[in-house]
Amino acid sequence: MRRPWSDVAIKECGEPLQSLRGTFLCLEPHPYAKLGAPYGDQGDPFRLRASVIARLVRAQNQLIQHPDPEVGPLQLLVLDAWRPVSVQAFMIEHAIEEECGRRGLNPSKPQWQTALDEVKREVSRFWAPPSEDRSMPPPHSTGAAIDLTLADQRGAALNMGGAFDAIGSESLPDHHASAAKANPNSPEALWHQRRCSLHAAMKQAGFVRHPNEWWHFSHGDQLWAWTVAESIAVYGRVDGDACAAASSSATRSSPSRFT
C-alpha cells in the first residue's frame, strides 16, 4: 500500500546513527530480535540519527515535568528504533501469520484466500511495505522513526490501553477518546490521558505521530515532512553504520533548519 507521504522528496543529510543506550530505557530483549528477525551484522536496532536523539532528550525532559496521576514521574521506554528493510519484511510476514492465527485462518488453504487478503490489507495499515526503492523507504529504515511508550521511574511499562504492534482499532491514537469523554473516571480515560501525554511531549520536541499508531513518532522523514507541509525530508534509508549516499536527489542538505 503506497502511503500519501511516499512522494515527498528526500535530500539525505548524511547524519550518522547514534546509540540510544545509556540515555534512554530500552526494551530488552529487543522484541523483534527475540523473534529471530534477520539483523545479521547490521548493528544495534536501538539507534537513531543524532539530531533526532537530541529531540528525544527534550521529550524526556518534558515528561519529567508532568507526572502520571497514578504512578508519578515518567520516562520514555524505547520499543524499537532503526530497522533494516530485511527486518521490515520479516516482521510483516510475522504479523500476517499472527493475525491469521488470531482469526483461525489457514493461509495455505485456497478457500481462505479472501480472508487472507483482508488480513494483509489490515496489516498494511500498520506496517509500511519493505520497499527497496530509496525514494520511498520504510520510516524505521531512515533512523528517524521510533516506537516508544511510557514507563514509571522503576522502568515498568504503563498500561496504554492497547498493546504495541496490535493490529486493530485499539492502536489508533484516539481509540479511547469517546469512552474517556463519557466517563472521566474510567480506565479508558486514564489510557487516553497517557496517550495524550506521550503525544504532547513528543510533539513539543518536534515529532509527528503516525496516524494509525499511538506508539510511532518521527522527525525528518517523509511522514514528518508530509504532516508538517515541508517540501523535503532530510533522512532517507540508512544501512547499518553508513548513511545512504542519496535517495531521490543527489543534493546534500543540512538538517539544521529542522532542529
CA distances from 102 to 81, 111, 129, 165 (A): 26, 17, 22, 14
Specify the DSSP class assigned to residue 16.
Answer: P
CA distance 18 to 20: 7
CA distances from 67 to 25, 75, 92 (A): 17, 9, 35
* Axis crossing angle, helix 187-204 with helix 50-64, rounded to the nearest 10: 130
Angle at 169 between CA 165 and CA 174, to 5 degrees: 100
CB 91 within 8 A of CB 37: yes
The H or E element spanning position 102 is: helix 85-103
Q: Which residues are catalytic?
A: 213
